[in-house]
Amino acid sequence: MALLPSDLSRETILSRLTARLIGRDLEVLPEIGSTNDAVMAAGQQGKAEGFAVLADRQRTGRGRLGRPWVSVAGVGIYTSVLLRPQLAPHQTTLLTLTAGLAVAEAIRVVAGVRPELKWPNDVLLQNRKVAGILTEMASLGPQVSHVSVGVGINVHHGSEDFPPEMRVAATSIRLATGRSVDRGTLVATVYDTLDRWYAIFCSGDRTRILQAARAQTATLGRDVTVACGADRWQGEALDLDADGALLVRAEDGTVCRVIADDVSIRSGLRP
Ligand code: BTN
């Protein structure tokens, strides 16, 4: 049976935590299928919001659009947090952006670098993906009943930890900065920053979230390819709307609201 490494000690993480809600009820495991599955099940069973699951390794970690998430032991942060926001299902994109702001802030505080966001759920360092957010939800009629906000951060990964086809697009804090940050400190900081950004989200202050997201989103002002199943089209990413959807001007001039599709930034220098 796998042992929990000392840098992910529950007691140490709790001793560093200043969050009021997020991570106060914390389960830390050496190994799990997916922390998002554990948190969705806990939500179903009535656990209170703020509950978090953290694992040293995931057997079946996953990302958006069913993609696998590299979840090797000893090198990453794989955690999910249970939230119960007052929300309609179509508004979860704004929550994903909020979590992205929290993760970017935690990386900035702990690693001393300034990540960017790639809409809707990626955190980038040097134009490569260092972290991702997977928001999954269950609804009761028109209202969200619970959400799992899953956060994966590549911390100590070397390029050999990523499959060859991912090596150009993925990075880790160590690869991008040469620094080895403490995973326990980073995850406690993620819970703290998410606690603060989630309080802003619940206060209804969308303007603050959208302003911060606009300022940090590398996607805006760029030429993008939007993929929806087999269908692909190109345009310019203009802005975020009030729900956090991406507004993209297609080549025929129409402005489309993109909610759940896959958006990639086309190469080329920023204007
Ligand atoms: C993405 O970039 O597509 C999202 C990646 C999210 C990965 C995290 S790791 C913790 C949680 N459990 C999962 O299975 N996925 C998320």
Ligand 1 center from residue 154 Cα (angstroms): 11
Ligand 1 site-directed mutation target among 28, 32, 69, 125, most atoms within 8 Å of CB: 69
How many whole angstroms separate alpha carbon 194 and alpha carbon 151? 11
- Give the residues surrounding ligand 1 with Cβ less than 6 Å away: 34-36, 58, 61-64, 67, 69, 78-80, 121-122, 132-134, 150-152
Tell me how far apart the terminal alpha carbons of the chain are, to the nearest angstrom.
53
Q: Which residues in the chain belong to E strands, given as ranges? A: 26-29, 52-55, 76-83, 116-118, 122-125, 128-140, 143-154, 223-228, 231-240, 246-250, 255-258, 262-265
- Backbone φ, ψ for residue 74 (5° rounding): 85, -10
List the Cα angle 189/170/91 in 5-degree steps.
60
Task: Answer for the pair 47, 84: CB distance below 8 angstroms, yes or no.
Answer: no
246-250 and 231-240: which strand pairing? antiparallel
Ligand 1 center from residue 68 Cα (angstroms): 8
Spans of the chain below 70 pLDDT: 1, 267-271
- Using CA atoms of 97, 197, 241, 271 in order, give the dihedral in degrees to the nearest 10: -60
| Closest atom, ligand 1, to C-alpha of 33 | 14
Candidates 171, 219, 210, 155; CA nearest to 8 is: 155
Give the pLDDT score at 269. 44
| Closest atom, ligand 1, to C-alpha of 35 | 12
Give the pLDDT score at 1. 66
Radius of gyration of the chain (CA): 18
Task: Answer for the pair 79, 50: CB distance below 8 angstroms, yes or no.
Answer: no
| Closest atom, ligand 1, to C-alpha of 148 | 11
The CA-atom distances, in angstroms, between 230 and each of 120, 260, 266 are: 20, 14, 18
How many whole angstroms separate alpha carbon 97 and alpha carbon 93? 6
Nearest CA to ligand 1 atom 16: 150
Nearest CA to ligand 1 atom 15: 62
**Chain-centre distance for alpha carbon 65:** 14
Ligand 1 center from residue 151 Cα (angstroms): 5
Candidates 81, 88, 127; CA nearest to 270 is: 127
Candidates 77, 68, 139; CA nearest to 107 is: 77
| Closest atom, ligand 1, to C-alpha of 71 | 9
Ligand 1 center from residue 64 Cα (angstroms): 7
Query: What single-letter amino acid sits at 85?
Result: P
